[in-house]
């Protein structure tokens, strides 16, 4: 077994993250740059460091998980969500929708979903489940402080109504925070919630192998309720969605069939 194979096995045992599901070339390059940056000679030495140094381990998880996000990321897709997807889902379901942001990073996506839902429901009725593999990212959602850059695509009405400026940052108001339940969940290992009407899984599947993606499409299909919708990122269209019992409603939006 080569040293990277052993490293992957050790990481799985240490932090329960299976690197085999992530695209190998890209992941190996990223980890190699961390090994060098921290002055280690090889994967074995670096792993010994990770075992004994909490700072190194946090840095590793942080780097590995790539938390880049923003509010209303790819704004044209949010327009489609508002104008075409949600009205249909809402007509079919009289009660508020069950929504899941499944790789929520530092909160921009689930908070955007809550703000968008205020166009259809009272805040007191809105609930969004938000999950991520990275505890560090979930912790940041609780602080709720964002840079100006993270808000560039957010409609101005939401920015005015739901944020307050603190120095150079923007703090999201509690009334939005309270609509989101954050939990840790590994998409590749953990069970999914049931009867969800809208799942956002955006800008994470690009890091996964084809095998991992197939597993995920099947798990999402099971997780969605009747005619539920899967919303993916802008480079993550599903090839031949029929194979997984999905149909394309609009680019980046897939409806559950059966």
* Residue 19 per-residue DSSP state: G
CA torsion sign, 42 to 45 to 51 to 56?
negative
CB of 187 to ligand SAM, least distance (A): 4
- Which one, 65 or 118, has the nearer CB to ligand SAM? 65
**Interaction with ligand SAM in 24-83: which residues (CB under 6 A)?**
65-69, 73
**Interaction with ligand SAM in 167-206: which residues (CB under 6 A)?**
186-188, 202-204
Phi, psi (deg, nearest 5) at residue 220: -65, -40
- Which one, 118 or 131, has the nearer CB to ligand SAM? 131
| SS3 assignment, position 133 | coil
Give the CA radius of gyration of the chain.
Answer: 19
- Which one, 145 or 188, has the nearer CB to ligand SAM? 188
- Which one, 7 or 208, has the nearer CB to ligand SAM? 208
CB of 242 to ligand SAM, least distance (A): 25
How far apart are alpha carbons 131 and 103 in whole angstroms? 6
Evaluate whether 248 touches 58 at the Cβ level (below 8 Å). no
Which of 8, 72, 105, 253 touches ligand SAM (CB under 6 A)? Answer: 105
| Residues in binding contact with ligand SAM, number by CB under 6 A | 21
3-state helix, strand, coil in the chain (%, to 5): 50, 20, 30
Evaluate whether 31 touches 59 at the Cβ level (below 8 Å). no
- Which one, 45 or 186, has the nearer CB to ligand SAM? 186
Mark residues 126-145: x for contact with ligand SAM by CB under 6 A, - for none. ------xxx--x--------
- Which one, 118 or 141, has the nearer CB to ligand SAM? 141
Cβ contacts of residue 126 below 8 Å, gap of 6+? 96, 114, 117, 118, 179
**Interaction with ligand SAM in 212-251: which residues (CB under 6 A)?**
233
CB of 223 to ligand SAM, least distance (A): 13
Phi, psi (deg, nearest 5) at residue 255: -100, 140
| Residues of the shown chain interacting with ligand SAM in the complex, contacts defined by CB under 6 A | 65-69, 73, 103, 105, 108-109, 132-134, 137, 186-188, 202-204, 233
């Amino acid at each position: 077994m080569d040293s990277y194979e052993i490293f992957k096995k050790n990481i799985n045992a240490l932090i329960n993250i299976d690197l085999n599901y992530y695209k190998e070339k890209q992941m190996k390059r990223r980890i190699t740059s961390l090994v060098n940056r921290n002055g280690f000679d090889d994967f074995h030495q670096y792993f010994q460091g990770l075992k004994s140094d909490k700072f190194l381990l946090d840095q590793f998880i942080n780097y590995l998980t790539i938390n880049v996000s923003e509010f209303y990321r790819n704004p044209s897709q949010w327009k489609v969500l508002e104008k075409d997807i949600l009205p249909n889902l809402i007509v079919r379901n009289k009660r508020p929708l069950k929504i899941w942001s499944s790789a929520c990073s530092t909160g921009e996506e689930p908070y955007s979903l809550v703000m968008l839902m205020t166009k259809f429901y009272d805040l007191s009725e809105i609930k969004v489940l938000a999950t991520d593999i990275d505890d560090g990212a979930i912790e940041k959602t609780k602080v709720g402080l964002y840079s100006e850059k993270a808000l560039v695509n957010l409609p101005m009405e939401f920015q005015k109504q739901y944020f307050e400026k603190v120095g150079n940052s923007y703090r999201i108001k509690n009334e939005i925070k309270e609509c989101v339940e954050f939990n840790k969940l590994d998409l590749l290992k953990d069970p999914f919630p049931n009867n969800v009407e809208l799942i956002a899984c955006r800008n994470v599947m690009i890091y996964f192998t084809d095998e991992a993606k197939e597993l995920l499409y099947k798990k999402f299909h099971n997780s969605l309720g009747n005619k539920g919708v899967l919303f993916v990122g802008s480079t993550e269209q599903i090839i031949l969605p029929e194979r997984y019992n999905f149909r394309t409603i609009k680019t980046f939006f897939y409806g559950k069939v059966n």
